[in-house]
Amino acid sequence: MVSDSGGGIGDNGRGAAKTRKRIVIVGGGFAGVECARQLESELGDDPGIDLVMINEDNFLLFTPMLPQVVSGMIETRHIVTPIRTICKRTRFFEGRVKGIDPYAKTITVWGGGGAGRLTIHYDFAVVALGSEANFFGMPDVESNAFTMKTLNDAAELRNRVIDMLERAENETDPVLRRHLLNFVVVGAGFAGIETAGELMDLLHDAHRHYRSVGKDDVKVVILEALQEILPGFDKNLAAFAKKRMEERGIEFRLQSAVKAFDGEEITVRNLAGGSDSGGGPEEEEEENGDGDDGDEVIMSKTLIWTAGVTPVNMIKRAMLKTQNGKVIVDDYLEVPGFPGVFAVGDCALFVDPNTGRPVPPTAQLAEAQGKTAAKNLTALIKNREKEKFEFKSRGQMAVIGKRSAIASVFGMNMSGFWAWLIWRSVYLSKISSGEKKIRVLLDWMIDLFFSRDISRLKLARRETEKDYRVLDEVDDMW
Ligand SMILES: Cc1cc2nc3c(=O)[nH]c(=O)nc-3n(C[C@H](O)[C@H](O)[C@H](O)COP(=O)(O)OP(=O)(O)OC[C@H]3O[C@@H](n4cnc5c(N)ncnc54)[C@H](O)[C@@H]3O)c2cc1C
């Protein structure tokens, strides 16, 4: 174990002649990076401040464009920006946070690149660890489903879709072929709707390269436990999105909750009590059946889980007061009982004083909280008044595929092509690096003229010839 004295990140920890105050930001997502930027602009030149950020990846991931990585519209690396290039005056440490001890004021990190375990002392801390998929205690779903939170998730899902197309091409049984090409997205929030829209775009584009795969063979189904899609959005815009997506062949099943998934079959409970729940196209007999207890069974090998998030598990070990896994914060985003410790973004529980309800987990909010926490930290250091966190939403937007989107900006509702153009302009402007902005813009332009790339990258270790020989001996010829 390495302690926080000596060189590198550990210097000036609790060593002799310690005069510098150390601020440690854990988590380099929207909230953490915005907090670091604000602190840099307020305290960056102060020799008495040591600004440190710890994140498990060395980049900031632009999640709103993850679905476009799945569809191959944007190249994988173009939606990430190295944190070192955004926060130049912050010392960055790539590592996985294992524990936060607010009594001892230490953070334990498991470092990448063989750095081993490291304990870092802090004077002030900002917890911005974000969230992970919430499987609501269904281990079979957790181990068999695909998720949409990380860059790895997007790359894996893209590979899976192409893999299914390749397998379907060689499948002679039409029923089995359709099972391979039945993609089920669970959750009709932002992430689910945008993923389903992009997935359909990819499938419509890619199937033309596969002789035995017809347009009607591919299917995207959205399962949603609630009665409505895109909760929080204007109802007319949500209705527009549903109608437009249905026209493109996406099937909605509302009030349908997943009970189990074994990698082949999805067991779904109809919460509407037996009535037609989604209004989608008729089910085909051979694809679905009824389970023993009346639950419906959908045959699919690919379930994409976007049905909810929960703060990362590490928070539970952090000795901070939590509710539903989120760190409780006061009006100033400070953790009660631990002055100088702030929590922001998806992992913080901030109750909106206007609605009395917790604020939703969005990037816009995470950034705003990161900024306020930085200002309040500066106020603490400079003995100034802290400010309460107040948030005014600038609007909401979601792309629904095929050059169409819905947007609610400054009280104005828009849908279709113009909303899609606004989505693109707004989100392009939000990418942190000029270089990445240009790369994304070029990707979008290339997409106007060429069809999607269907190369499936096998990034795992290549199997040896011996492995192939064993396979040759047992497999059928095709
Ligand atoms: C597909 C998708 C689309 C979305 N679209 C939108 C949208 O259009 N608009 C919108 O407002 N919001 C959108 N969101 C939601 C938005 O991404 C989140 O609300 C936002 O990322 C929250 O920011 P955060 O900083 O709290 O957490 P994150 O951005 O998740 O950052 C947390 C960071 O902490 C790191 N971390 C976690 N655990 C550890 C650990 N133990 N050690 C070290 N590092 C750790 C993570 O790697 C990550 O870098 C979308 C989300 C998804 C998944």
Residues 118-138: tens digit of each pLDDT = 899 999 999 999 999 999 999
What average pLDDT does range 30-36 have in this prediction? 98
| pLDDT-wise least confident of 12-16, 383-387, 390-394 | 12-16
Report the residue among 9, 37, 55, 63 best suited for mutation to probe ligand 1: largest number of ligand atoms under 8 A from its CB: 63
- Cβ–ligand 1 contact at 221 (below 6 Å): no
* Interval between CA 132 and ligand 1 midpoint (Å): 8
Q: Do residues 304 and 145 make contact, with C-beta atoms less than 8 angstroms apart?
A: yes
User: Does any ligand 1 atom lie closer than 6 A to the CB of residue 150?
Assistant: no
CATH architecture of 139-307: 3-Layer(bba) Sandwich (3.50)
Q: Measure the CA–CA gap between 295 and 267, rounded to whole angstroms.
A: 6
Q: Which two tokens stand for residue 343?
A: 């929590």
The identity of residue 223, as a single letter, is L
Least confident of 224-238, 263-277, 338-352, 460-474: 460-474
Alpha-carbon torsion, ordered 156, 161, 166, 172, to 10 deg: 130
Residue 190, ligand 1, Cβ within 6 A: yes
Would you say the CB of residue 86 lies under 6 angstroms from ligand 1?
Answer: no
pLDDT tens by residue, 449-473:
988 888 888 765 555 554 444 444 4
Q: Is 309 helix (H, G, I), strand (E, B) or coil?
A: strand
| pLDDT value of residue 458 | 75
Ligand 1 pocket test: which of 33, 52, 55 has the largest number of ligand atoms within 8 Å of its C-beta? Answer: 55
pLDDT band of residue 287 (cuts 50, 70, 90) is very low
pLDDT tens sequence across 60-104? 999 999 999 999 999 999 999 999 999 999 999 999 999 999 999
Residue 394: predicted pLDDT: 82
CB crowding 154-182: b at 16 or more within 10 Å, else e? bbbbbbbbbebbeebeebeeeeebbbbbb
Residue 198 has a pLDDT of: 96
Residue nearest to atom 38 of ligand 1 (CA): 129
The C-alpha atoms of residue 340 and residue 199 are separated, in whole angstroms, by 44
In the chain, list all ranges with CATH 3.50.50.60: 8-133+309-381
Q: What is the pLDDT of residue 474?
A: 40
Does 57 sit in the ligand 1 pocket, CB within 6 Å? yes
Ligand 1 pocket residue status of 130, Cβ below 6 Å:
yes
Rg, Å, the chain Cα set: 24
* pLDDT per position as a tens digit, 180-231: 999 999 999 989 999 999 999 999 999 999 999 988 899 999 999 999 999 8
- H/E element holding 406? strand 404-409
- The rounded distance, in Å, linking the Cα atoms of 437 and 443 is 10
* Mean predicted lDDT score pLDDT of the chain: 88
Q: Give the Å distance between the CA of 50 and the centre of ligand 1.
A: 25
Ligand 1 midpoint to CA 57 (Å)? 12
> pTM value?
0.89
pLDDT of residue 283: 45
Q: In terms of DSSP H, where are the helices of 290-404?
A: 363-381
- pLDDT at position 115 is 65
Ligand 1: which atom is nearest the Cα of residue 132? 30
pLDDT at 13: 46
Report which ligand 1 atom has the smallest distance to the Cα of 27.
34
Across the beta sheet with 146-147, what order do the strands follow? Answer: 146-147, 302-305, 182-186, 219-224, 250-254
β-strands 219-224, 322-323 pairing: unpaired
- Confidence at residue 2, expressed as pLDDT on a 0 to 100 scale: 45
Distance 235 CA to ligand 1 centre (A): 26
Q: Which helix (H) or strand (E) holds 101?
A: strand 91-101
Alpha helices in 248-362 (DSSP H): none
32, β-bridge pairs: none
**Ligand 1 pocket, residue 121 CB under 6 Å:** no
Domain ranges in the chain with CATH number 3.50.50.100? 139-307
- What separation in angstroms does the CA of 240 have from each of 229, 237, 395? 11, 5, 17
| Per-residue pLDDT at 179 exceeds 70 | yes
Q: Where are the alpha helices (DSSP H) in 44-150?
A: 66-70, 83-86, 139-144
pLDDT at 314: 86
Q: Of the ranges 50-54, 273-277, 322-326, which one carries the lowest mean pLDDT score?
A: 273-277
Asked whether residue 292 carries a pLDDT value surpassing 70, the answer given is no
Classify 319 in phi/psi space as left (phi over 0), alpha (psi -120 to 50) or beta: left
Find the DSSP H helices in 12-55: 30-43
Dist. CA 171–CA 182, nearest whole Å: 14
Q: Which residue has the higher pLDDT, 469 or 402?
A: 402
CB 151 within 8 A of CB 79: yes
Ligand 1 centroid – CA 286 distance (Å): 39
Give yes or no for residue 382 having a pLDDT over 70. Answer: yes
Instruction: Yes or no: say if 268 and 256 are a contact pair by the CB < 8 Å rule.
Output: yes
Q: pLDDT tens-digit profile of 109-120?
A: 987 656 678 899
Measured from the Cα of 346, ligand 1's closest atom is: 26
pLDDT at 364 over 60: yes
Cβ(63) – ligand 1 distance below 6 Å: yes
**8-133+309-381 is classed CATH 3.30.200.20:** no
CA dihedral 380, 383, 389, 395 (to 10 degrees): -90
Instruction: Please state the φ and ψ torsions of residue 360, each to the nearest 5 degrees.
Output: -75, 160
Distance 98 CA to ligand 1 centre (A): 18
Determine if ligand 1 sits within 6 Å of the CB of residue 97.
yes
